[in-house]
Amino acid sequence: MPSCAICLGELSADAPYHAECIESLFGTSSLPKLVIDLSKLYALAASKMAGKMSISGAQEKVSLTLSSDRRTLDVSATGGRYILKPETSRFSAIPKNEHLTMRLAQMLSIETPPFGLLRQDPGGMPYIIRRFDRLDDGTKLQVEDFCQLAGKRVKDKYEGSAELCVKLLKKYATEPLIEIQKFYRLILFCWWAENGDMHLKNFSLLTTPEGIRRLSPAYDLVCTKLVIPDDTLAMPVGGRDRKLTRGIWVEFADYCGIPDKAAKRLISEQIDSLDPALRLISASFLPESMKNQYEALIRANTAILAS
């Protein structure tokens, strides 16, 4: 049974997406056409955007705009509303992995921007996500990643810790307790889903038009263990970047100032998400062998949390 390439839900009609899922991602009921040839994407991106790209990071990606009639998506040097990450030869199935991992986070009520996979022939299935830092009228919202907030250079983005992030939220968020609880949920999820690349630039503070500074919607969530088998956490929690235990998560909740009852609820929610998570993995577009590995990883981490 094919799945919707946006929500991974079952499809009843012979269409690759639910119409309402296309609507939530693009604000229109039929899928806009990507007017670029993915195989030529990099040359195009490099020539059009040399030195102008505002999105940095390790993965190849391009900024896209949706035409005003919402029928086409094109590469743009400035004012892009979407980010597209094509398949890469360096690591296997990263867009499908990111899509599934973001979908798992969403299932746990972690806020994300709208995102999905595009079915492109040829060119595989690139991952697309809407930018959270632009309003519909084009206004740019202020965003600072945790590397900037910590006053560190980009090359030092791995010199963080979960505790440093909590300190930054205490200092800069408008409502620290709420944002720290959201951060706890997110970083617990990242450990559970074996996302070893959550460095300081993968967390950001967003300033809303009302001037409220809060944790941005989540982005760049990937199960890195599927491509780097001995990967460890990018940021230690309780001083550890591997072999975390339920005890460490309980202690870290205490560090965060999360009351015991609330912490136990967050941990239980993560444990209880196992069955629906397994269904999403099975419905995902990952190759079968990666589905099996993903399943084994989250079963093991769920058992650790439950012990």
Ligand X SMILES: Nc1ncnc2c1ncn2[C@@H]1O[C@H](COP(=O)(O)OP(=O)(O)OP(=O)(O)O)[C@@H](O)[C@H]1O
Binding site for Zn ion (CB under 5 A): 4, 6-7, 9, 18, 21
Which pair of structure tokens corresponds to residue 64? 């896209």
Indicate which of Zn ion, ligand X, Mg ion, none lies near residue 83 (CB less than 5 to 8 Å, by partner kind): ligand X
Q: How far is the CB of 302 from Zn ion (least distance, A)?
A: 26
Which pair of structure tokens corresponds to residue 184? 């706890």
Q: Which amino acid is at 172?
A: Y
Q: Which of residues 148-207 bind ligand X (CB under 6 A)?
A: 197, 201-202, 204
Identify the bridge partners of residue 63 per DSSP, sorted by sequence position.
83
Asked if 113 touches Mg ion (CB under 5 A), the answer is no
Q: How far is the CB of 82 from Mg ion (least distance, A)?
A: 16
Asked if 87 touches ligand X (CB under 6 A), the answer is no
Per DSSP (E only), the strands in 102-255 are: 115-117, 127-130, 142-145, 204-207, 213-215
Asked if 132 touches ligand X (CB under 6 A), the answer is yes
Distance CA 162, CA 238 (A): 8
- In this structure, how many other beta carbons lie within 10 angstroms of the beta carbon of residue 213? 17
Distance CA 286, CA 71 (A): 28
Q: How far is the CB of 304 from ligand X (least distance, A)?
A: 25
SS3 110: coil
- CB-nearer residue toward Zn ion: 29 or 232: 29
Asked if 219 touches ligand X (CB under 6 A), the answer is yes
Binding site for Mg ion (CB under 5 A): 57, 202, 220
Residues in contact with ligand X by CB under 6 A are 55-59, 61, 83, 113, 129, 131-133, 145, 197, 201-202, 204, 219-220
